[in-house]
Amino acid sequence: GAVVSQHPSWVICKSGTSVKIECRSLDFQATTMFWYRQFPKQSLMLMATSNEGSKATYEQGVEKDKFLINHASLTLSTLTVTSAHPEDSSFYICSAFLAGVSNEQFFGPGTRLTVL
Amino acid sequence: AQSVTQLDSHVSVSEGTPVLLRCNYSSSYSPSLFWYVQHPNKGLQLLLKYTSAATLVKGINGFEAEFKKSETSFHLTKPSAHMSDAAEYFCVVSDRNSNYQLIWGAGTKLIIKP
């Protein structure tokens, strides 16, 4: 099956610093990738839709200047949390959309961000 | 507009007994429906999916779900629970009208009693 990786799997940073999370589709090309956020014991919340070669589309309430998304190639999307604060601590999950017969999203393993 | 309702936030069953996790959806078009499982501190794993083929869908680890259009339901079942099934389960819907964005249920925590 299609495989999506995320790096790093966990990160701890100081308040005020920026953190970059990478999402890669390893064996397929994805023109569309999605970024989700999951708070403890809650469901996934879609943050933004990332399209290769164009600007990301952010969901209502998600600050685009806070969460910078770059989809520079068909296999890589990055999420940068700028000037992170403790309230940004969360589990961030990406998915890559495989168009075709299945039209299915494949998920990365997630990145646990802790901001001190 | 699409929506997904998982009717139970927690389900507790004894090991070896059947599992039923309930899910109702609303969708304007022919939907695709998914069940995902998330074990503690682990990534999401697709259990099964319905995409307009057979209404009874068999998934991994002995799970299956039946698409019932008349009831707008997609309940997840397993004949005999195992301790390793303890996890959070998410019912998800998407359709082409929403560019295949996923709409997530709130999740059901499955607890297995020894």
Cβ of residue A2 closer than 8 Å to a chain B Cβ: no
CB contact under 8 A, A103 and B106: no
CB contact under 8 A, A46 and B49: no
CB contact under 8 A, A34 and B100: no
Interface mutation vs chain A, best among B102, B103, B110, most A CBs within 10 Å: B102
Task: Inform me whether the pLDDT recorded for B65 exceeds 80.
Answer: yes
Region B10-23 average pLDDT:
98
Helix or strand run (H / E) with residue B37: strand B32-38
Cβ of residue B100 closer than 8 Å to a chain A Cβ: yes
CB contact under 8 A, A107 and B43: yes
Task: Inform me whether the pLDDT recorded for A110 exceeds 70.
Answer: yes
Looking at beta carbons, which residues of chain B come within 8 Å of A44? 90, 102, 104
A72 contacts A62 by C-beta, under 8 angstroms: no
- Give percent of chain A above pLDDT 90: 70
A92 contacts A37 by C-beta, under 8 angstroms: yes
For B16: left if phi > 0, alpha if psi spans -120 to 50, otherwise beta; the answer is left
- Give percent of chain B above pLDDT 90: 70
pLDDT band per the 50, 70, 90 thresholds, residue B79: very high
Cβ of residue A110 closer than 8 Å to a chain B Cβ: yes
Query: Distance (Å, rounded) from C-alpha A73 to C-alpha A63?
Result: 23
How far CA A89 is from CA of A37, B2, B79, in Å, comes to 10, 29, 38
Looking at beta carbons, which residues of chain B come within 8 Å of A95? 102
- Averaged pLDDT score across all residues of chain B: 91
Q: SS3 of A104, please?
A: strand
pLDDT value, residue A13: 96
Q: For residue A60, what are the contacts with CB-CB under 8 A and spacing of at least 6?
A: none
Q: SS3 of B78, please?
A: strand
CA distance A18 to chain B (A): 23
With residues binned 3-state (H G I as helix, E B as strand, rest as coil), the percentages for chain B, rounded to 5, are 10, 55, 40
CB contact under 8 A, B100 and A102: no
Region B4-15 average pLDDT:
96
Cβ of residue A108 closer than 8 Å to a chain B Cβ: yes
pLDDT value, residue A88: 96
Q: SS in 3 state form for A78-103? A: EEEECCCCHHHCEEEEEEEEECCCCC
**A32-52: pLDDT as tens digits:** 999 999 988 888 999 999 988
> Which of B9, B46, B43, B51 has its CA nearest to residue B27?
B51
The residue assigned the tokens 């309230």 is: A87
> Which of A34, A26, A37, A32 has its CA nearest to residue A81?
A37
pLDDT value, residue A101: 66
